[in-house]
Amino acid sequence: MTAKLYAMTCGRLVGRLKDMIEGEDGQVALPIPSYLIEHPKGRALFDTGMHPQLRTDAAGRIGERAARIFGFEQYGAEDDVKSRLESIDRDPGKVDYIINSHLHFDHAGGNELVPNATMVVQKREWQAAQDPETAAKVGFFRADFDHGHQVKQVEGEHDVFGDGSVVCIPTYGHTPGHQSLRVRTEKGEVVITADACYFCRTMRERRLPRFVYDREQMLASLDRLEALEKGGAKLFFGHDPDFWKDVPQAPVPAF
């Protein structure tokens, strides 16, 4: 069985390139993706982008330090995940699963806007978020993920629909329990790396972001992603503006 995969740009986050890849400088506008997966057994989102509060009160949402590092001027009024879904005639209230790659504000901030879904998250990620000291160290904000969703904590690989078409893949390192997603479409297999691999260059050159929870685990995750690519999967990189400009946007399938 296969699934349909749709890509949505949920605005852009302006940041310092040196924070995203070692040895670079200047500013970069990072696309913030969310992916809609439609399967005969249900509908899922892989990541939900940012919360609308960041447009008006970023410091109140994520703290003064993070609000100074990032700019939200390219996050428009129609860029949140709810607006993007509605623009393609999909009801946010009828999404069955939110599969969070991890719990950073640009990947889980829109969870609140998808109220009836079950969150699918790695157990070690969820546990890290519950510990105030670890959460502060890693950059988790409770406002992004504490909205009463049912939470399915998974360990390692997880087959979302039970037929191998949509599978969570552990890619630890960026955060304690980061996961990527493998999706089997009619055209072939896609692996959405999320922040396990920000840019294509991250993989090709093994230049990591500045802030990493565990460098050795992240390098091992890059090895795993590269092996999947060599096995025939098409990789969708986390925040690569050069790659993203050629990704078809919903309602056209991404692949």
Q: Which domains does the chain have, with CATH numbers?
A: 4-244 (3.60.15.10)
What pLDDT does 56 receive? 95
Q: Which two tokens stand for residue 149?
A: 């969703």
The span from the CA of 182 to the CA of 169, in Å, is: 7
The span from the CA of 247 to the CA of 64, in Å, is: 33
Neighbours of 178 (CB within 10 A): 29
Summarised one tens digit per residue, pLDDT across range 138-148 is 999 999 999 99
Residues of the chain short of pLDDT 70, as ranges, are: none
Q: Reply yes or no: is the peptide bond before residue 251 cis, omega within 30 of 0.
A: yes
Helix (H) and strand (E) counts in the chain = 11, 11
What pLDDT does 226 receive? 98
Give SS3 for 159: strand
What pLDDT does 13 receive? 97
Bridge partners (DSSP) listed for residue 121: 153
What pLDDT does 78 receive? 97
What pLDDT does 185 receive? 98
What pLDDT does 51 receive? 98
Residue 231 CB-density burial (10 A; 0-12 exposed, 13-18 middle, 19+ buried): exposed
